[in-house]
Amino acid sequence: MLFYLISILVVLVDQTAKWLVRTHMELGEKIPFWSPHLQFVYYENSGAAFSSFQGYGKYFSIIAVVFVAAVFYYRRQGRIRGPLLEAASGFLVGGALGNAIDRVIYHQVTDFLVFGNRGGILNLADLAINAGAILIVVYLLVDHFGHKVAR
């Protein structure tokens, strides 16, 4: 249940945030938020992370669908169990679907979060993917050091 709850919540929050950005900001517009270390900047990315592979976004939507299918397959096989892996896979699937929806509908991904002066720009789906990856690392570390992980 945790997997589905997180996946659906990530897609809904991500798509709502992107819709708000597209309808209330001009492309390239910057809005400081909370501190100089976090800004909203409306950007459309037709590629992948760090604006690489511009114009090839449609292929990443195919990869996202294959990834989501693989997660469902491994869940059905019982290989993804326990709260850490359920949450991790939920964040990963929700993030992948959130960006895939953008790529299919708009042929690009709406990005809007800039943290600090590093120049990278993200969206909530990207943050969910990062959260999922971190949870997998936590799971692997806990499992490696022999602590019991609830399965």
What are the 10-residue block averages of pLDDT along the chain, 151 residues in total?
Answer: 97 98 95 82 77 61 92 93 95 97 93 82 95 95 70 49
The catalytic residue among 14, 102, 111, 143 is 111
Sheet holding 109-115, edge to edge: 30-33, 35-45, 109-115, 121-122
> In this predicted structure, what is the pLDDT of residue 18?
98
| 111 labelled catalytic | yes
The catalytic residue among 14, 102, 126, 143 is 126
Model pTM score: 0.87
Q: How far is CA 23 from CA 16, 26, 39, 57, in A?
A: 11, 8, 17, 22
Mean of pLDDT over the chain: 88
> In this predicted structure, what is the pLDDT of residue 93?
98
Could you tell me how many residues make up the chain? 151
